[in-house]
Structure 1
């Protein structure tokens, strides 16, 4: 018979055995899970890698919230990122600005908790002895700057300092938090069809002789896109870039033009480079931001970017600029004249003077004023307002007109039909041609009225352009050009011509109207000032030298469009032909002398 004491001992022993079994099961389960996690990482697909990572607790619907929900994850504790870094390599001084924006987006949009390293890999064309003051700015704001001499592998240098790195191209702009990239297997890669690498994972077990441009050894998995990368980054790997789109100079520009993404890049660049208005004395510094981004992106020019197929093709809009109070009484006449055209969708009056109220009498007694006329008040006084994007414009073509120019309706509609020709839609089509010359060696330039049979620019006093060009000029060009124009009170039309030819490679198209073209501003307008005219050549020189890197984008043209009329035909005589040949011969002798 078993005593009470023995029963108690047996019970305690049984409890101990049960507890031990539970512990063993728990340990076995966790060890199995831990091993399986690493086994999966060795053979996992791109999509599964992303899914398994997010199952750890991160809210993948909003990665910018960070990793507060997975503080118990041993891979993401407070010290997890100490030996990890995002690394980019700069090998060309022309890519410094791109790299700065890429790093800035990683810090301020992605809000990474990892280290950031920028490696300057000097070479024959990118020398540490040259003047590259901009790259010193990388050394601030918690960014490590490393300068590597020729012959040293940048990635190996980074791996000597960190256990794991995520290489990213200078062309990457981060849209969300991407710290989860460190959980991806080594050699996970994002590359395009030309084998350019946008992102790649390295650790210090990789070959020390590898770099971002060498072929990878057999990877754990290779993908043409990281999991969810389209949602997390912009990769400007095409031939047209946001920092130099106006230098592309090719007719296929429209296939590569990404206005919304380009503006994301440009707005970040402005944040980095543009000081406060109180610091630089430029009162219009905030003009671009106020125009290109509204309080909500559900409205405004940025949200109103539409494809060509969505725009009205068979009518056009008018952007009519006005400033001087003494011209207001004539503005009503001009509006009434323009409304006679059934091809005009709407007229938008750009009211340049922020200190002058719009008189109520302006649109009185104008038929269809409520339906077809809009007044656009401006908060800033700038010649650049002439090209502001307008979200209410629903046509592909925009006719830009000064308030001192009068064009016959038949000639206006003919000019629109000229612009509608497929070969002309990339061009500026208008009525005031000008010619220029630029010397890339001396940087000297000449600007003058075209009295001969060639021209390279069309004044913006009367011209047809694509709607897209308004957004490109206002929201994507280097802000320094806008500031130059405000300082000079001049040359916005030259900058616009340079941008259009620089982006498209298209020549301008001059149109000769049948009826006289009336210009009421030839005596009192801004362009009659001698200082204004004298500075035009300096504008051409400055813009091409600084922003187009001494490569003149303007295309000289010798053709013009004119309305067809039946040619005059006379009965000819061969004697007159002989006389004409003698005249040609005499001219040839004079030319040789």
Structure 2
């Protein structure tokens, strides 16, 4: 016996009779009718605002002037609604929540499964003849006016299985269809306990109108399919606007990330840092070949940042002479300083066009996966450096360094006391995978990297927060009983007491968290090598 679910579409178009339906007419009346066509999306929380900004910009970039409607639940703050309404021809409106027909577990609530059922309200927007719904994690690359000529329930079939992906769907608003959907979805079931499963349960498979994949192409698609895409869908746990919260799940190919950042350019919240050259070798996120349990790399690259100290030359020569160092790149931060010749054939230079601590992660020219990031005032003996490299090879998804620190989400708690653990290793001596440097230099939002420029501080905190959030793995500290010379220990921004350095760093922590960085739920305890604490010597290397 056929269930009502599999034949509901027949009810829509063959057996409909006039009904008294309870449609939230305020949704349709919120916005003046300016066109027979519209785009629509859904925003469930303030964290999704950058995605909506990028999507709105992509719609205009593709030469569309149709209204862009954003459904928001009542829980979204007023300032977010205001930011949406400031976007060109974009309108936010609050829709009544629909009952969630499944258990509201913590996991389901965290990814807004109940909120996503607000999508069903779109069938009640009868002021528009056709609506193209787009998930917030999509962008339009080329004009899609032809979709407005497609029939309702047009969508792209998922690559696997017998379901249609409702991240992009053509909707024909109808009071009757709206009534039948909202009155029956609670009983329809859902293979993913979400709106997509419910719609696929309600609408017979043969009743959908299939669209070519170019109208809903996953960002991980092969290059040929990606290049043919008109709409790119960033499906999965890693999202371009908060990729640092993926905790080891998902990846974003560089080409897809660059495309999203292009659409987000000049937007208030979403704009990417995009400093340095694009390295298309990289994929931001986890890959089996990259972050497996261990690697057998024989060489590393050194990235040394310098400003005014002459010690860069001696240090770069020291690194260049080590057998396991493939190359040494010196980031020449002071644009007004006379450029000097390389002291060794392995030594090369990066010349940024501005002075910024964010420049210390410019990695597009590096050839090795392992990058040793260091300052121009720290000398680590060769044996200790090699030990750190060996530790990194066993833990290539982690940051490995010689200077651990701890911060908490409580104001005033940034500390060098690591008795209770640590969640940072400073970049004055750190091993990191090159992909982390790519992620920082290109894809972190400007709203975060601008804080580093504002205070000329905290780039190491931001780098750690990003990397730990991406992988879900805390850093590792390598402690040594060999002598480490710290030439600038009492002269740099973190040197003199009373300089306010710790206060500034604590302010950075609070600012990064407020702007979307995750809290420090991951921390390490103890060092990877249970040796004595480092023996610091203040002074020149030869002293």
Matched, 1:203 2:201: no
Aligned match for 2:378, one of 405, 408, 415: 405
Matched, 1:301 2:287: no
Tell me the secondary structure at the aligned position of residue 190 of structure 1: strand
> Structure 1, residues 248-270: CA drift from partner, whole Å, max 9, x if none?
223xx4x4243432343234334
Aligned match for 2:64, one of 104, 112, 128: 112
Identify the residue that residue 38 of structure 2 maps to in structure 1: 85
Identify the residue that residue 171 of structure 1 maps to in structure 2: 137
Q: RMSD of the alignment, in Å?
A: 3.2
Q: What TM-score results when the alignment is normalised by the length of structure 2?
A: 0.73
Identify the residue that residue 106 of structure 2 maps to in structure 1: none
Identify the residue that residue 88 of structure 2 maps to in structure 1: 141
Matched, 1:318 2:305: no
Deviation at 1:451, TM superposition (A): 5.6
Q: Which consecutive residues of structure 1, in runs of 5 or more, have no partner in the other structure?
A: 1-41, 43-80, 276-284, 293-299, 565-593
Deviation at 1:430, TM superposition (A): 1.1
CA contact (8 A) 1:85 1:162 kept: yes
* Distance in structure 1 (CA, Å) of the matches to 2:153 and 2:265: 34
1:302 and 1:154, CA in 2 relative to 1: closer, same or farther beyond 3 A?
Answer: farther
* Distance in structure 2 (CA, Å) of the matches to 1:407 and 1:150: 59
> Structure 1, residues 408-447: CA drift from partner, whole Å, max 9, x if none?
11221121111000xx2111111111122333xxxx2412
Identify the residue that residue 186 of structure 2 maps to in structure 1: none
Tell me the secondary structure at the aligned position of residue 141 of structure 1: coil
CA contact (8 A) 2:377 2:487 kept: yes
Identify the residue that residue 376 of structure 1 maps to in structure 2: 350
* Distance in structure 1 (CA, Å) of the matches to 2:380 and 2:511: 33
* Correspondence list, 1:322-471, <5 A: 322-324=306-308, 327-328=309-310, 330-360=311-341, 363=342, 366=343, 369-370=344-345, 372-388=346-362, 390-421=363-394, 424-439=395-410, 444-450=411-417, 452=419, 454-471=421-438
CA contact (8 A) 2:41 2:134 kept: yes
Deviation at 1:524, TM superposition (A): 1.3
> Structure 1, residues 295-330: CA drift from partner, whole Å, max 9, x if none?
xxxxx3244537896999321100001001xx22x3
* Distance in structure 1 (CA, Å) of the matches to 2:531 and 2:522: 26
Tell me the secondary structure at the aligned position of residue 86 of structure 1: strand
Tell me the secondary structure at the aligned position of residue 415 of structure 2: strand
Larger deviation, residues 208-217 vs 470-479: 208-217
Identify the residue that residue 69 of structure 1 maps to in structure 2: none
Deviation at 1:542, TM superposition (A): 2.5
1:226 and 1:304, CA in 2 relative to 1: closer, same or farther beyond 3 A?
Answer: closer
Deviation at 1:468, TM superposition (A): 0.4
CA contact (8 A) 1:308 1:396 kept: no
> Structure 1, residues 101-152: CA drift from partner, whole Å, max 9, x if none?
11211111x2225x233133424x34xxx42345454365233444434469
Identify the residue that residue 548 of structure 1 maps to in structure 2: 517
Deviation at 1:240, TM superposition (A): 1.4
Higher helix proportion (structure 1 or 2): 1
1:173 and 1:481, CA in 2 relative to 1: closer, same or farther beyond 3 A?
Answer: same
* Correspondence list, 1:507-586, <5 A: 507-529=474-496, 530-548=499-517, 551-561=519-529
Tell me the secondary structure at the aligned position of residue 517 of structure 1: strand
1:222 and 1:256, CA in 2 relative to 1: closer, same or farther beyond 3 A?
Answer: farther
Q: What TM-score results when the alignment is normalised by the length of structure 1?
A: 0.67
Corresponding residue pairs, total: 439
Tell me the secondary structure at the aligned position of residue 273 of structure 1: coil
CA contact (8 A) 1:187 1:222 kept: yes
Aligned match for 1:248, one of 205, 226, 246: 246
CA contact (8 A) 1:508 1:555 kept: yes
Aligned match for 1:103, one of 35, 45, 56: 56
Q: Which has the higher contact order (CA 8 A, sep 6+)?
A: 2
Deviation at 1:514, TM superposition (A): 4.3
* Distance in structure 1 (CA, Å) of the matches to 2:405 and 2:527: 13
